[in-house]
Amino acid sequence: MKSVFAFMTSFAAVLLVTAIVRGAILSRDERVEFVPASKQPRSHNHSTPEFNEAPPADNRAAPPESPVKPAEAVELGNDTDPVSGVKLGSAPAMLVHKSWRIGFESEANGRKFDKNPMRYYARLSLEPTTDGRLLKVDGSSFEKALASECPIMGGEIDPDGEVFIFHRGFKIYFCCWSGCPDEFLADAKKHYAHYGLVERDGKLVRK
């Protein structure tokens, strides 16, 4: 009888120890380590933006702006090539320059004109303005405005030459075509006195 009681006591002790060990194992497996929010990995799910994050940009292309229709070119009606002086035929080469359609004997002459158009304006009775426009004028009504030397480069001026532009009723002469007219037009008022001219009541007149 004593042996049976001892066996049962031992068996109960084994069961108790087993239960304690099993509970400890289960408790360890269920324990979760706390990770601060600053160290938690960011989610890669982009379906919902995080708080305070800007929504994804709309990458669709913006609709194109309405094209601005350029001003239609006006026929200048020149009957001679301003580069060669040759009378134009029935089918001249045409070049659009500052809203004017200008005729040339050949495309080569048109390209030559385009490299330095200022030197040919007077031959076409065109007046370049200080604001970039190009006016058709009657060149025969313009007076000569001469100086002892070119105010831009200081070179000698030929009073009977063709190095001049039409400007507000006067033919303004220069020593060459190497940028002198362009620099004059950039600040024309600064050079008027050099040609004996003055602006009075909105007009350019002689002193």
Only one residue has tokens 């009723």, namely 169
Q: Is the pLDDT score of 126 beyond 90? A: yes
Distance CA 151, CA 183 (A): 10
User: Of all residues in the chain, what percent carry a pLDDT higher than 90?
Assistant: 65
Domain check: are 122 and 188 in the same one?
yes
Domain check: are 95 and 124 in the same one?
no
Domain check: are 140 and 185 in the same one?
yes
Domain check: are 81 and 141 in the same one?
no
Domain boundaries, position 201: 118-207
Residue 97 and residue 114 in contact, taking contact as beta carbons nearer than 8 Å: yes
Domain check: are 126 and 199 in the same one?
yes
Report residue 72's pLDDT band, with 50, 70 and 90 as the boundaries.
confident
Residues 136-179 have pLDDT tens digits of 999 999 999 999 999 999 999 999 999 999 999 999 999 999 99
Report residue 94's pLDDT band, with 50, 70 and 90 as the boundaries.
very high
